[in-house]
Structure 1
Amino acid sequence: MASTSITEPAVAVPASEADAAPSEAALRAHEDRLRRRESMLRIVVPAAIVALLLLAWEWTVRANNIPHYILPAPSLIIRTLFDNWESLSSALWFTVKLTLLALVAAIVGGVLLAIAFALFKWVEIGLFPIAVILQVTPIIAIAPLILIYVSSTTAALLLCAWIVAFFPILSNTVIGLKSADSNLRDLFQLYKASPWQTFRYLLAPSALPYFMAGLKIAGGLSLIGAVVAEFTAGTAGKETGLASRILESSFRTEIPMMFAALLLVSLLGIVIFIVFAALSRLVLGHWHESEMRRER
C-alpha cells in the first residue's frame, strides 16, 4: 500500500505586511531620536523655568523700585560678580579646594572603614555607633570645639567638612557590601574562592551602585560642611572662602556682593552634583538598572 504524505500549503506573506515590519536599524534610529529628545528636554525645560523666574525677579524689582540693599536685581548681581571677580574667584578656589579635600578624605576613610565593617563584625559593633554619633550631632554645635582644639584654621575647616561628608559614604558602602546575593556567596564558597576573589568579583560590584549614590550625597554635603564651618569660624582675610565673603558683605550691608557670593556657592553645588551624576552614568550605565536608559 502506497504511503501518502500530506504537506501544508505555504502561506505567502503579503508584501505590504513584510514592508510594514520595522527593521532593527529603524528601531535603533527611533530609540536614538527619543533619547536625544529626552536629553534636550532635560536641559531646555529647566533652563526655561529658571529664565522665567529670573525675568520675574528682575521685573518685580524694577516695577516696585525695590532698593538694592533690600533685594538686588539679577542684572545687578551679575554686574557685581564681574566687578569683584578677583576677590570672589580667590574665595571660590579656596572653597573648591576645601570641599574636594574633605570629599577625598571622606571617600578614603569611608570606603576603608566600610570594608572593615563588612569583613570584621567586631569592628562594626565597636565603631559604627561612634560614626552615628558624629552624623547626628549638628556640625554647627561641634565646630567651635574643633576650632578651639585644632590650631590650624584650615585643618579645622577641613575636619568639619569631612565629618559631614563621611557618613553617607560609609553607610551606603556598608549596605552595598552586605547586599551581595546570598546564593552567589554560597557559589563562591563552593568553588573555594579566596577572600580577595570574593571581594573583587562579588562584594565590590554589589557595593558600587550604593557607593555612587553615597558619593552624590557626600559631594553636596562636603560643600555644606565647608561653608558652615567657615561661618562658624568667622575668618577674614585673603585665604578665606565664599562663606567669609558672605559674612563680610552682611557686616557692610553690601547685599549685591552677598548675593554674588551666594550665587557662586549654588553654582559650585550644581557643578558637583552634575559631575558625580555623569560619573555614575559612566560607571553604571552599561550594566546596572539604576543608570541604564530605557524607553518609557
Structure 2
Amino acid sequence: MTKPLFDNPAMRRAVWPVLLGLVVIGAWEVCFRQFAVPVWLAPKPSDIAAVLYQQWPALLGSFWVTLKVTLLAFMLAVCIGTAVAFLFVQSRVIESCLMPWAILFQVTPVVAIAPLVIIWIHNTTLALVVCAMLVAVFPVLTNTTLGLRSVSPGLVNLFRINQATRWQELIRLRLPAALPHFFSGLRVASGLALIGAVVAEFVAGTGGTGAGLAWQILQAGFQLNLPLMFAALFLITCTGLGLFCLMSLLSHYFLRHWHESAQ
C-alpha cells in the first residue's frame, strides 16, 4: 500500500514552502488591491508579473550577465579556496602566514575595494568576477581547511605507522573527511558569489547591452519604476535559491550513501 503524497518527507519539504509562498503572494495581492496602495509606493504581485512579461527580453539579458559573473566567480573561488586549503594542511607555518591575509580580504567590504579593482582591471567582466570571488572564497577556504583537519588522530597514526605518504594520507583519509565541510562551504559561497556580483555591478554602474540586474535596479530607482525593481530583485532571489538548491543536491548525491548528514 502506497503512502499518501504528503506522508513523504521529501514532498512535505518541497510542497509546504510553496504553499506558504502562494498564500503570502495571494494575501499581498488582495490587501494591496483592497487598500488601493499606489504602484509607485509598493507594487502588487500582478504588477511585477506584468513587468516580467513585458520586459522579459531586457531582463533575461541582464540575468545572463549577472549569472555569468556569479558562476565564474564561484568556480574561481572554489579552485583557489580548495588549493589554498590543501596548502594550509601541509604546513602550519604557511597557514599562520597566509590566514591573516585571507581574513583581511574577508572583513574588508567589497564596496570599498571594488572601485580599485575596476580601475586596475580594464576588462569590466573580469573586474566584476574578481570582486565577487573575493567575497566567496573565504567560506570555501575555511570550511575545507576545517574538514581536512577534522580527522581522527588514531587514523592519522595508523596511516603513518603503515608508512603512508602525504599524498595517500590526503587523498584516502583527509579528503573524504573534508567533503561534508566542503559542500557546506559551497552552499555559503554560491550565495556570496551572487551578492558580490550584484554589489560589484552597483559600484561599476555599467549600462548598455552588458548590464546586469543591478543596473536594472539602479535604472528603476532613478525612474521610480518599482515593479521593474521588484522584478529584477525577484530574478536575483530565484538565482540565489537555485544555486543553493543545486549545491544541496550535489552534497546529497556525494554524501547520501555514507555520511550521517545526508541519510
TM-score (norm 1): 0.86
**Which structure has the highest helix share of the two?**
2
d(CA) in 2 for partners of 1:43, 1:127: 42
Structure number with the bigger relative contact order (C-alpha 8 A, sep ≥ 6) is 2
Q: 4+ residue runs of structure 1 moved beyond 3 angstroms?
A: 32-36
Q: 2:174 aligns with which of 187, 193, 203?
A: 203
TM-score by length of structure 2 reads 0.96
Secondary structure of 2:259's partner?
Answer: coil
CA contact (8 A) 2:5 2:11 kept: no
2:149 to 172, 178, 181: 178
Q: Which of the numbers 150, 159, 162 marks the counterpart of 1:188?
A: 159
Distance 1:35 1:123, change over 3 A: farther
Match for residue 94 of structure 2? 123
Question: What is the deviation of 1:56?
Answer: 1.0
AA matched with 2:155: L
SS in 2 for 1:235: coil
What is the DSSP-based 3-state SS (H/G/I as helix, E as strand, rest coil) of the residue aligned with 2:16? helix
Gap change, CA 1:36 and 1:198, over 3 Å in 2: farther
Instruction: Specify the SS of the correspondent of 1:67.
Output: coil
Change (3 A) 1:264 1:129: same
Please say if 1:286 is aligned against 2:257. yes
Of the three residues 79, 97, 106, the one matched with 1:135 is 106
Q: What do the CA deviations read for 1:114-148 (whole angstroms, capped 9, x no partner)?
A: 00000022211211100000001111121122222
Other-structure match for 1:106: 77
Q: What are structure 1's unaligned runs of at least 5 residues?
A: 1-28
How many Å apart are 1:252 and its aligned residue?
1.3
Query: What is the alpha-carbon distance in structure 2 between the residues aligned to residue 48 and residue 145 of structure 1?
Result: 45
Separation in structure 1 between the aligned mates of residue 86 and residue 186 of structure 2, nearest angstrom? 16
Aligned 8 A contact 2:6 2:12 in 1: no
Within 2, Cα distance between the matches of 1:239 and 1:148?
18
Q: Can you list the C-alpha shifts for 1:40-74, whole angstroms capped at 9, x where unaligned?
A: 11112111111111011101111111111111110
CA RMSD of aligned residues (A): 1.6
| 1:165-203: CA deviation from partner (whole Å, max 9, x where unpaired) | 000000000011111111000000111111111111101
For the residues of structure 2 that align with 1:257 and 1:35, how far apart are their CA atoms?
37
Amino acid at match of 2:215: S
Alignment counterpart, residue 209 of structure 2, candidates 235, 238, 261: 238
